Amino acid sequence: MMHSAHPLQGKQVVVVGGSAGIGLAVARAARDGGADVSIISRSARSHDGLSGIAADVTDTSSLQLAFAQLPQRIDALVLTSGASIASARLNAMNMADLHQAFDVKVFGYVATLYAALPYLDETASITLTSGLLARKFNAGGLVKSMVNASVEAMAKVLAKELAPRRVNVVSPGITDTDAWGSATAEGRQAMLQKMGDHLPVRRVGQPAELAQAYLLAISNGFMTGAVLDVDGGGLLV
């Protein structure tokens, strides 16, 4: 039996949070692999011919309007959106940050999946994004650990509930994105290098490297309920 050299050829892929960072890298990689790619983000920015549609994952009506503008069959849905919040210990906790983190990455993911469900092919791939702190517990990481662990639990449940659709998670480690400041910010590269020096690979990750894991989750039809750690060995230190 002949297999396409490009398993994503002709597939309809939607990346939520795909206007920057890891999400944009996933959108570009899927497009380069032959997929028809749409981006949903608050900014609705378009990049390199990738079309952007405006929606806020904390606004159910905007999500419903966004999915109504997309192809009526989605083969792969990727969620990469997240709230940018500082790490804090309990005694310095900003409760607004706690609510924002859950609103975007837990309740927002649920709302996105709910809005997308009528359009998802019966064998569609769904890939969520957690993070290193889901299973690496550091003082000051309470909010991020709770949120990312929730995402991983969500995926395990939905892998059963939505079967034969497949639900997986990519868990990034420290990655060179704007989450660490703009590319021109003073001291940014030195900071990233210092963090990377503590990892077994001796550097931080690049968005394109993370994108490879999302494409694996999308294209491997025998993978579901899995968490792919792409963290340079961050869980080991």
The predicted model scores a pTM of: 0.94
Cβ neighbour number for residue 113 with a 10 Å cutoff: 20
pLDDT surpasses 80 at 100: yes
Burial tier of 140 (Cβ tally within 10 Å: 0-12, 13-18, 19+) = middle
Q: Is the residue at 191 inside a domain?
A: yes
Question: CA 100, CA 85: separation in Å to the nearest integer?
Answer: 8
Average pLDDT over residues 123-133: 98
Domain total of the chain: 1
The secondary structure element, H or E, covering residue 114 is helix 108-116
Question: CA 109, CA 5: separation in Å to the nearest integer?
Answer: 32
- Within 8 A by CB and 6+ apart from 147, the residues are 101, 102, 105, 106
Q: Is the residue at 6 inside a domain?
A: no
pLDDT surpasses 60 at 36: yes
- Within 8 A by CB and 6+ apart from 122, the residues are 164, 165
Residues 231 and 171: beta-carbon distance below 8 Å: yes
- pLDDT given for residue 86 in this prediction: 86
- pLDDT given for residue 49 in this prediction: 84
Q: Is the residue at 169 inside a domain?
A: yes
- pLDDT given for residue 131 in this prediction: 97
| Token duo for residue 35 | 């997929």
Q: Is the residue at 173 inside a domain?
A: yes
Domain extent at residue 140: 12-230
Q: Is the residue at 237 inside a domain?
A: no
Q: Is the residue at 2 inside a domain?
A: no
Helix 207-219, helix 21-32: angle, nearest 10: 50
CATH number of the domain that residue 179 is part of: 3.40.50.720
Q: Is the residue at 235 inside a domain?
A: no
Q: Is the residue at 4 inside a domain?
A: no
Average pLDDT over residues 214-233: 98
> What DSSP designation does 105 have?
I
Compare 6 and 80 and report the one with higher pLDDT. 80
Question: CA 41, CA 57: separation in Å to the nearest integer?
Answer: 8
Mean pLDDT of the chain: 95
